[in-house]
Homo-oligomer: A and B are copies of this chain.
């Protein structure tokens, strides 16, 4: 097991009808900026619940944060924070709204020339403007971690940021919100969380026995509840386990003490930046090829995953490892998630070279848990994903 530090101060308020408890989590004299996305919260009743709970506070609203939170839009919100002397941010939405809010939390107190520096120069945020979240879409775990990914469309860039100052003060998770989530987003959420676990697990045996079992637990739970929520998202028990599994998949716990890969995300982000493919779907496109390409270095964990998560018993460990990749693809397909780039765009030719060239330009050499993947390897993996 590797050495690690863990501190996650976010207060989780989980369960039925918890949104009404929002009010007591806010600082008494807070001037709140309420941030949300495309307006689905106005259809599903969450907006009203939130507004009711905010009664008594001074609240300014900023809606319209898009999926893959867009830098240009966030700069507008930043101006509102400054003009209105906002003291507390409240994100009501999924990962995009929460990630956008984290950028604003950092940018509001940033002393440098331009907040884009936070993203390009990887500047960690130690103190941000305090914020809370009301989660409406389980997937990214942004509600209980300190990371964010921001998109800048004008230069087709998608970049990560973070820091210990970017944990939400609180996050309210009411699984009843799952009932109104469209099928496509449910499938994305399951796929996103499942791949988050894979990124932290599918490396090499590193003596993190408990971490491995926790990771397997999350994947087993997602496999168990996926058909139930796809069939009936109002199934509270399935929705609650879906929501909590997504949070635990990337709140930091299972990655402590073990190596991480994350190359699938690095490649996937490029597919979103280039083609606008949903984040989760880019992961499903890249992951199987990634595991096949890196089979030799990952086969022990692939076999363990095959046995413990998929219950495979037939054949050698190598057979089981290979079959485990197939099982993973089949799982994505069962969610109606396609796993080939060509199923999303006919314009895929040259993508591998393009992504590889971008990685060279950024000096991104040595991805993955062994820091051994070169841009040339990335090119091969993306080509295998066509």
Chain A interface residues (CB < 8 Å from chain B): 1-16, 18, 175, 207-211, 213-214, 216-218, 220-221, 224-225, 237, 240-241, 244-245, 248, 253, 256-257
- Report 26 cross-chain contacts, Cβ distance below 8 Å, ordered by A residue: A1-B15, A1-B237, A1-B240, A1-B241, A1-B244, A3-B15, A4-B12, A4-B15, A5-B11, A5-B14, A6-B12, A8-B8, A14-B256, A207-B240, A207-B241, A209-B221, A209-B237, A210-B244, A211-B244, A213-B218, A213-B220, A214-B217, A216-B217, A217-B217, A240-B257, A244-B257
Q: Which residues on the B side are within 8 Å of A209 (C-beta)?
A: 221, 224-225, 237, 241
* Bound-state Cα–Cα, A229 to B8, Å: 30
> How far does the Cβ of A206 sit from chain B's closest Cβ, in whole Å?
9
Which among A13, A217, A220 has the greatest number of chain B C-beta atoms within 10 A?
A: A217
Query: In this complex, what residue of B is CB-closest to A237?
Result: B207
* B257 and A14 within 8 A (CB): yes
* Bound-state Cα–Cα, A1 to B16, Å: 10
* Bound-state Cα–Cα, A216 to B217, Å: 9
Which 4 pairs show the lowest CB-CB distances between chains A and B?
Answer: A3-B15, A213-B217, A7-B11, A207-B237
* Bound-state Cα–Cα, A55 to B319, Å: 56
* Bound-state Cα–Cα, A94 to B221, Å: 34
Q: Which residues on the B side are within 8 Å of A8 (C-beta)?
A: 8
> How far does the Cβ of A12 sit from chain B's closest Cβ, in whole Å?
4
* B7 and A14 within 8 A (CB): no
* A245 and B210 within 8 A (CB): yes
Question: B1, B3, B4, B221: which contacts A210 (Cβ < 8 A)?
Answer: B221
Question: B3, B5, B14, B213: which contacts A221 (Cβ < 8 A)?
Answer: B213
> How far does the Cβ of A21 sit from chain B's closest Cβ, in whole Å?
9
* A11 and B6 within 8 A (CB): yes
* Bound-state Cα–Cα, A221 to B216, Å: 13
Q: Which residues on the B side are within 8 Å of A7 (C-beta)?
A: 9-12
* Bound-state Cα–Cα, A308 to B248, Å: 21
> How far does the Cβ of A210 sit from chain B's closest Cβ, in whole Å?
5
> How far does the Cβ of A350 sit from chain B's closest Cβ, in whole Å?
42
* B11 and A4 within 8 A (CB): no
> How far does the Cβ of A185 sit from chain B's closest Cβ, in whole Å?
20
Q: Which residues on the B side are within 8 Å of A210 (C-beta)?
A: 217-218, 221, 241, 244-245, 248
> How far does the Cβ of A208 sit from chain B's closest Cβ, in whole Å?
8
Q: Which residues on the B side are within 8 Å of A240 (C-beta)?
A: 1, 207, 257
> How far does the Cβ of A85 sit from chain B's closest Cβ, in whole Å?
28
* Bound-state Cα–Cα, A224 to B207, Å: 12
Q: Which residues on the B side are within 8 Å of A213 (C-beta)?
A: 216-218, 220-221
* Bound-state Cα–Cα, A16 to B2, Å: 8
Q: Which residues on the B side are within 8 Å of A4 (C-beta)?
A: 12, 14-15
Q: Which residues on the B side are within 8 Å of A237 (C-beta)?
A: 1, 207, 209
* Bound-state Cα–Cα, A12 to B256, Å: 10
* A9 and B9 within 8 A (CB): yes
> How far does the Cβ of A373 sit from chain B's closest Cβ, in whole Å?
26
Q: Which residues on the B side are within 8 Å of A3 (C-beta)?
A: 14-16, 18
* Bound-state Cα–Cα, A213 to B254, Å: 14
Query: In this complex, what residue of B is CB-closest to A10?
Result: B7
Q: Which residues on the B side are within 8 Å of A253 (C-beta)?
A: 253
> How far does the Cβ of A11 sit from chain B's closest Cβ, in whole Å?
4
Q: Which residues on the B side are within 8 Å of A216 (C-beta)?
A: 213, 217
Query: In this complex, what residue of B is CB-closest to A240?
Result: B1
* Bound-state Cα–Cα, A251 to B2, Å: 20
